[in-house]
Amino acid sequence: MDRKGKIELEGMVFHAYHGCFEHEKSEGNTFTVDFKGKTDISKAAASDRLEDTADYGILYDIVKSEMDNRSDLLENVAGRIAAAIEKAMPEFTRFSVRVSKRNPPVAGQCEWSRVTVRGGSKKK
């Protein structure tokens, strides 16, 4: 059985210190991270066994670890998360990571700024 599927972890919330301005670095802000990844889920679909699927806990831990490392730019945070997932979880043939920052420092009302990065093992 060959079953391609999508695994998603959405709404991972972190208080982190990403940003270029001093107040962002000292006070921090609310960030959310969303992950969507394509993988072969046929083994897990047939077996109903946790060890036959991607480990959501490992995925979350990767995201948390990268969110704990301060960056000036969301592009850098999202890029580091994607690189770490590619290295640790090659079973994802394609995926996207979206990092969102609450109330970014702009001259007007803006609820979120967001950066999305795509990655994957490039398997066919």
Domain boundaries, the chain: 4-119
Query: Which of the residues are catalytic?
Result: 101
pLDDT tens by residue, the chain, 124 residues: 567 899 999 999 999 999 999 999 999 999 999 999 999 999 999 999 999 999 999 999 999 999 999 999 999 999 999 999 999 999 999 999 999 999 999 999 999 999 999 999 765 4
Cα 24 to chain centroid distance, Å, stands at 21
Q: How far is CA 49 from CA 12, 45, 84, 105, in A?
A: 24, 8, 25, 45
Question: Nearest-CA neighbor of 16 among 86, 84, 63?
Answer: 63
d(CA 98, CA 70): 17
Architecture of domain 4-119: 2-Layer Sandwich (3.30)
